[in-house]
Amino acid sequence: MAKIFMKIKELDISHWYIAFLCLTGIITFIWTNGFSFINYSSEEWVKLYVMLGAALILNSLTFRLPPEGNVISFDSSIYLACMFIYGSQFTLAVLLLCSLSYFVYKRNVPWWKKLTNFSLYSIMITLSFQVFLAFNGTLGPVNGHNLASYILALTSYFGINTIGLFIYYYLLYRTDLANTLKGFVKDTILVYLCMLILSLVLCVLIVNNGTLGLILFLSLGIMLSHAFRLLFSMYHQILNRSNIDQRTALYNHSFFESSLDYHIIEAKVNDRALSLAMIDIDDFKKYNDSFGHLKGDLLISFLGSMLKEETKDTSIVASRYGGEEFTLLMPGYDYEKARHFVDKLRKKLNDTPFDGVEVFPHKCLSFSAGIAQYSIDLYDKSQLVDHADKALYYAKKQGKNTVHTYGCDLIMEDELDLSHEVNYIEQQLNLFMYKDIDTFKHSKRVYKYALDMSNILSLDKEEKREFVLGALIHDIGKLEIPWGVLNKEGKLTPEEWETIKQHVTWGKKIALTDPRFRDLIPYIELHHERFDGKGYPHGLKGKEIPKLCRMLTVLDSFDAMTTERPYQKTKTLQEGIIELRACAGTQFDPELVEIFIAYILARSPKNELTLQEETAPYMV
């Protein structure tokens, strides 16, 4: 009982409206009709059957009218004709049998919809018949003098229909009242006029020619419905030409954009899941280069037809995003479900034989896919696309032929991001390759120390990124130091030392040119500051220097001591440690030095440290 009460409480006002409508309809039906047709004579039953058959035939021939997509059939004209010839009681009997037939035949339509439809029709028929009588309408043959009553009865018939449906849609969607009603009436008025004329034609035909008249009418109705259907499909062919990608027969980019808009609004309003998958064929360029564009196009249309086939009976909108990229817009799919679907698709593609797959590294067709789920806090649709695109990038980075879901594996994503940036900086550092190979190697070693240290210091994601990248780039200013000074063997003159010192400021200037390096500037500028304030360029002291910059100074100096340099003798790791301790408190932050020494000792066991002395001066 409590459960039922809870259910009732959850009901929306539109549900109450439906319930009210059904109740009114059923009461109206019983009051008007009273199941009197049970006692009809055989002849009346035959009439009833004939009308029922006609109504069912017309009802099954639904057609749509462009552009709104209303589903319309001419069955109302049968009801109206019945009403004008035989009265409302008989019409309601036809309606009842027709509804019962549909109840049995169309089991996929929910029962309450059928009941609502039946109720609304009952009310429409009963009330409009009352109007018809009130304006002196007479049953039987069409009478020219009664034209006003026909028109008024019809107006009330469709008036009730429009208002009844309109209230329902209004309660459901709560849109602008006046405008919606205006649109409602505008869309349907022509169809309603058609119905009126058709129903009067039917009256004339039935009264004068009986069943033959009805058959003629039905033929006309069937052909009209068919003609409207053709019209609609033609309209759609034209419409689709602008929405379909010619090569793959999937939707094109512009359609994807507009349906993305639509589905995002839909997901927002109905609080429904929505996922976007972005699919990119792996190594497509390789295939194209090996076999030419014609074959490449074949591959694209092959994947297109597969996507179309696989998404046929789902709500998924598959589009060609461009080139060898495809999108699947998946309304009703959360990322788990979407991932499952796309992964299944990927495996299926892997198992599909295709001409020339031997050029691919996996020796089979494959794609990488990125999935992003819509969430309410997304600012706009481009963000969803961005997320999916990023996820696709991560999928590619993981070695292709994978599906990655955006935000599901943050650590891995961060690492991939970091390695991407490291790559970028390494490209810049490659300039050292020719100018000063030692600085290039030094930067990479310091970078590796920094990576380890950031784990030891348990830095957070952002700090780690800055520290590691800063370590990699810190000597970038050395590019500006003249060749002769940089590679000079023997002692440097004081002027040359000044030039060397300049590299921190030059480095800063270089870094300022690229917004990606902005937050790395402290590491470039301050890695020669000393703990006791005697460093350059600013002479900052102690805690004035950022902690990680102090750390970098330690790493930088230790690596400089323990590796071969043109202007300095190389120390062993042990000598390096002794030197670090000696300078702790003056050049270096003593706490950080100890942390670093502990790390170096832990990394190289005792015997190795001693071994070091005999073999190489440096090891990584």
Partner 1 sequence: MVYDGIILGLIVGLFRGGLKNGLVQFGQIKLKGGLIFPILLLIQFLIFRFQGDASWLAPASGYFFMSIYVIGMAFLWMNRQNKGFMIILIGVFFNFLVMAVNGGRMPVSLDAAQVLGPYYTELLTSGDAVYKHYMLDASTRLSFLGDIIPLSNPYPRTQVISIGDVVMNLGIFLYIQSIMVPKKDTEDQDLATSLHTSN
Positions in the binding site for partner 1 (CB under 8 A): 38, 40, 42-43, 45-46, 49, 53, 64, 67, 69, 104-105, 212, 215, 233, 236, 239-240, 243, 251, 255, 258-259, 262, 315
Comparison of 309 and 355: residue with beta carbon closer to partner 1: 309
Name the H helices within 402-460. Answer: 410-435, 437-456
Beta carbon of residue 70, minimum distance to partner 1 (angstroms, whole number):
10
Q: Is 293 helix (H, G, I), strand (E, B) or coil?
A: helix
Host H or E run for residue 562: helix 547-562
Closest CB 117 distance from partner 1, rounded Å = 20
Cα 94 to Cα 117: distance, rounded to the nearest angstrom = 14
Of the candidates 298, 329, 294, the one whose C-alpha atom is nearest the C-alpha of residue 311 is 329
Q: Which two structure tokens, joined as six digits, stand for 28?
A: 């109206």
Stated as kind and residue range, the H or E segment containing 583 is: helix 573-583
Q: Which is nearer to partner 1, 46 or 431 (CB)?
A: 46
Q: How far is the CB of 386 from partner 1 (least distance, A)?
A: 22
- Does residue 67 have a cis peptide bond before it, meaning omega lies within 30 degrees of 0? yes
Encoded tokens for 79: 């009801």
Give the residue with the Cβ less far from partner 1, 341 or 618: 341
Q: CB-wise, 190 or 265, nearer to partner 1?
A: 265
547 contact partners, CB below 8 Å, separation of at least 6: 589, 592
311 φψ region: left (φ > 0), alpha (ψ -120 to 50), beta (else) = alpha
**Which CB atom, from 173 or from 262, has the smaller least distance to partner 1?**
262
d(C-alpha 505, C-alpha 492), whole Å:
20
Residue 486: CB atoms within 10 A of its CB come to 20
Q: Which of 40/166 has CB closer to partner 1?
A: 40
Q: Which is nearer to partner 1, 331 or 535 (CB)?
A: 331
Closest CA to 232 of 60, 74, 57, 68: 68
Smallest gap from Cβ 321 to partner 1, in A, equals 16
CA dihedral 58, 62, 67, 70 (to 10 degrees): 90
* Comparison of 43 and 271: residue with beta carbon closer to partner 1: 43
Please state the closest distance from residue 262 (CB atom) to partner 1, in A.
Answer: 5
**Helical H runs in 311-409?**
335-350, 381-397
Q: How far is CA 6 from the centre of its chain?
A: 35
317 or 369: whose CB is closer to partner 1? 317
Q: How far is the CB of 244 from partner 1 (least distance, A)?
A: 9
Residue with tokens 């003798």: 569
Name the minimum Å distance from CB 57 to partner 1.
10
**46 vs 433 by CB, closer to partner 1:** 46
Which residue lies nearer to partner 1 by CB, 16 or 262?
Answer: 262
CB of 170 to partner 1, least distance (A): 19
Q: Give kind and range of the element (H or E) at residue 321.
A: strand 317-322
Cα 590 to Cα 501: distance, rounded to the nearest angstrom: 24
Q: What is the DSSP string of 160-184?
A: HHHHHHHHHHHHHH---HHHHHHHH
320, 250 contact by CB (below 8 A): yes
How many CB atoms are closer than 10 A to CB 70? 14
Q: What is d(CA 121, CA 106) in angstroms, rounded to the nearest whole number?
A: 18
**Number of other residues whose CB lies within 10 A of the CB of residue 485:** 15
| CB closer to partner 1 out of 125 and 214 | 214
- Output the furthest CA–CA distance in the chain (Å, rounded): 127
Whole-angstrom distance, CA of residue 276 vs CA of residue 339? 10
CB 211 → partner 1: shortest distance, Å? 9
Q: For residue 115, which phi and psi values (nearest 5 degrees)?
A: -65, -40
Least spacing, CB of residue 17 vs partner 1, in Å: 25
Whose tokens are 């069943």? That residue is: 211
**Residue 218: CB minimum distance to partner 1, A:** 13
Q: Are strands 367-373 and 403-405 parallel, antiparallel or unpaired?
A: parallel
- Rounded distance between C-alpha atoms, residue 466 and residue 547, angstroms: 12
Pairing of strands 63-65, 70-72: antiparallel
H helix and E strand count, the chain:
24, 7
**Within 13 A of 307's CA, how many CA atoms are on the CB side?**
30
What's the min distance (Å) between Cβ of 348 and partner 1? 21
Query: Minimum CB separation from partner 1 for residue 236, in Å?
Result: 5
CB of 518 to partner 1, least distance (A): 42
Specify the residue, 263 or 396, whose C-beta has the smaller distance to partner 1.
263
**Shortest Å distance, C-beta 300 to partner 1:** 21
Q: Which amino acid is at 20?
A: F
Bridge partners (DSSP) listed for residue 565: 568
